[in-house]
Amino acid sequence: MNTQRACAVGLALLTLTVAGSAAAQRTSSTVVRPGFSARVTNPWYPLRPGSTYVYRGVKDGQPSREVMIVTRRTKVIDGAPCVLVSDRLFLRGRLEERTIDWYSQDARGNVWYFGEQTAELDKNGRVKNTSGSWQSGVNGARAGIFMFAHPKPGRWARQEFYKGEAEDHFMVLSLRSTVSVPYVSTSRALLTKEWTPLEPGVIDHKYYVRGIGTVLEQTAKGPLERNELLSFRRGA
């Protein structure tokens, strides 16, 4: 075999190898985990496409407004079909942060959190920070359970894991808690506490109402923050 022909054969083999590797990567990224679905119907955290949640509260000492919309878009994250939820945070009327969260539900009805793409904005609307963004299956990040199918007091789980960036945990405290916010009042709310080793000494309480989802989040220990449901429109 002459030198020219050998080079041609080598180049062809290299091309086939690269193409095969790329094809394998594409295939592995689209392999779907059995039992997971982007249709999230858990009654404590239903994510019906088109649903819109509007919250008001206090964050970093400033009046806040948060708008969460369950989109009709889906994406496969780490093998799980996920629904995309848009979350926009306004402080004193200015858009401070925009986030896309990815959720999926397993065959038992547990809601899983597969990551977020978040961006903190400056006063001109330009991205100044993306800290906290993570995606399950990338750089060691792993999905976690966000809500149990059958929550019971004392049950706990890790909601997310991306070392040094996202390490939230939660525990169910009660299924018969009283909560009153502008949109709803009830004595049958689910109460959880959340914490993270990244912020030792800080504990948040969250209240959930069946058929709606989160209605109130407030600091139980640490700097004062509060977010209460002002309005809710269920998707079609």
Nearest residue to 181 via CA among 47, 52, 42, 55: 55
Cα–Cα distance between 72 and 81 in angstroms, integer? 12
Low-confidence ranges of the chain (pLDDT < 50): 1-29
Strand 134-135 relative to strand 156-158, pairing: unpaired
End-to-end alpha-carbon separation of the chain, Å?
A: 69
What is the average pLDDT score of the chain?
Answer: 89
Cross-strand bridge partners of residue 194: 170, 204
pLDDT in tens, 103-149: 999 999 999 999 999 999 999 899 999 999 999 999 999 999 999 99
pLDDT in tens, 204-215: 999 999 999 999
Which pLDDT score, from 0 to 100, does residue 3 have? 41
SS3 of residue 213 by DSSP: strand
Domains of the chain: 34-233 (2.40.360)
Which pLDDT score, from 0 to 100, does residue 154 have? 98
- pTM score: 0.86
